[in-house]
Amino acid sequence: MNTETTAENKKAVKQDLFESPDFYNIDDLLTEEHKLIRSSIRDFVKKEITPYIEDWAERAHFPYEIVKKFGDIGAFGPTIPEEYGGGGLDYISYGLIMQEIERGDSGMRSTASVQGSLVMYPIYKFGSEEQKKKFLPKLASGEMLGCFGLTEPDHGSNPSGMVTNFKDMGDHYLLNGAKMWISNSPKADVAVVWAKNEEGRIHGLIVERGMEGFTTPETHGKWSLRASTTGELVFNDVKVPKENLLPGKSGLGAPMMCLDSARYGIAWGAIGAAMDCYDSAVRYSKERIQFGKPIGGFQLTQKKLSEMLTEITKAQLLNLRLGQLFNEGKATTAQISLAKRNNVDMALKIAREARQIHGGMGITGDYPIMRHMANLESVITYEGTHDIHLLILGKEITGIPAFE
């Protein structure tokens, strides 16, 4: 083993020398504001996430203090108007923020994208003025943490079958049921919960920590997204004030609109994870000597690196166009599915190839590869599995739903 090279690489990882590939000069298509936002989030990630993330992940520790820090840098609700504490930014800025945070860790991006797209977005889009004023500024600043409860133990890919329900008791609603696999839930102050009324119509309710009968047990034993906290939401005769119902929209379309925004963020985030794996693989391949030369000098390594760069570049172009469509209010659910599905799959394949390039070192926490790879196994499942997105595309192409 060339110990000198290994030590050098470890040092490089600790210092976080990450540089993003921009093979097609896509930066030329970004505004100065986009680039400024990206570099400020990148600096934040290099200072506040990458030096600690391997330790957090190893200990399955959610660094709660990151919530306030994310609030301070504007990572929560970047597209929400400034009057409610949001950033008032466009969707490309939002995408770049998610990309940079997930370059650090998918679990950290989860915390940010759930808060912005799945908690602040529904309150902004479907909430009353009182709800917006009460919750959005505190969620934006990180004073409050939120979570989004759609998935149930028996209803994952098929949320329309949900059994969580609420009854109108005159002066309040009575909520019963359970949600599982909920990011942020063990630490959340508020949960946006999707439940059926007595007619079986889905509505969103804001459930607040401290309401009697509401608990959030943590899910343990995850080998993926270990620095993100995941749990259940359990509702046992919870009295929810009537003013906590989101009045603006009902039906499955309401949570689906939130998912459109969050899936878009994931499509960008996945590029971040892929770029981190690629960057580490390029550096390692130039430094690691075998058979008397850097392993980057072998054709098989070059094939891996060339294919990684090709896929990252294609995904970058895809996202930029999707971001433009989002900014124009034209992005469709199927277009978002295509990007989420393609980019997460691409990132997972790149993580696996990068792991190969790092040889045995690739399985250690000295490099970010194995953590990204394990994280991406969740990312390819949540917010619609890889196959559900394929079926969404299939329905768009043929007009025939093949979900059941």
Pattern 221-250, ligand FAD, x by CB under 6 A:
----x----x--------------------
For residues 267-326, which are near ligand TGC according to CB under 6 A? none
Pattern 167-196, ligand FAD, x by CB under 6 A:
--------------xxx-------------
Taking a C-beta distance cutoff of 8 angstroms, is the pair 204, 164 a contact? Answer: no
Rule CB under 6 A: say whether 382 interacts with ligand TGC: yes
Q: Which of 100, 102, 353, 383 is catalytic?
A: 383
CA distance 287 to 3: 11
Q: Is 143 one of the catalytic residues?
A: no
CA distance 158 to 162: 8
Q: How far is CA 236 from CA 145, 205, 233, 300, in A?
A: 22, 15, 10, 58
Size of the residue set binding ligand TGC (CB under 6 A): 27
Residue 387 contact among ligand FAD, ligand TGC, none, beta carbon within 5 to 8 Å by kind: ligand FAD
List all residues 6 or more positions away from 29 whose beta carbon is below 8 Å from its beta carbon. 320
Among 50, 110, 216, 342, binds ligand TGC (CB under 6 A): 110
Among 150, 274, 305, 315, binds ligand TGC (CB under 6 A): 150
Nearer CB in complex with ligand FAD: 197/381: 381
Taking a C-beta distance cutoff of 8 angstroms, is the pair 344, 379 a contact? Answer: yes
User: Is residue 349 exposed (0-12), middle (13-18) or buried (19+ Cβ within 10 Å)?
Assistant: middle
Query: Taking the complex as a whole, how short is the minimal distance between the CB of residue 140 and ligand FAD, in angstroms?
Result: 19
User: Is residue 88 exposed (0-12), middle (13-18) or buried (19+ Cβ within 10 Å)?
Assistant: middle
Q: What angle do CA 180, 391, 345 make, to 5 degrees?
A: 75
Taking a C-beta distance cutoff of 8 angstroms, is the pair 389, 340 a contact? Answer: yes
Among 2, 157, 236, 306, binds ligand FAD (CB under 6 A): 157
Q: What is the DSSP letter of 230?
A: E
Chain residues binding ligand TGC by CB under 6 A are: 110, 113-114, 148, 150-151, 157-160, 183, 251-253, 256-257, 259-260, 262, 333, 382-384, 388, 392, 401, 403
Chain residues binding ligand FAD by CB under 6 A are: 114, 147-151, 156-157, 181-183, 225, 230, 378, 381-383, 385, 387-388, 391, 403
Residues identified as active-site: 383
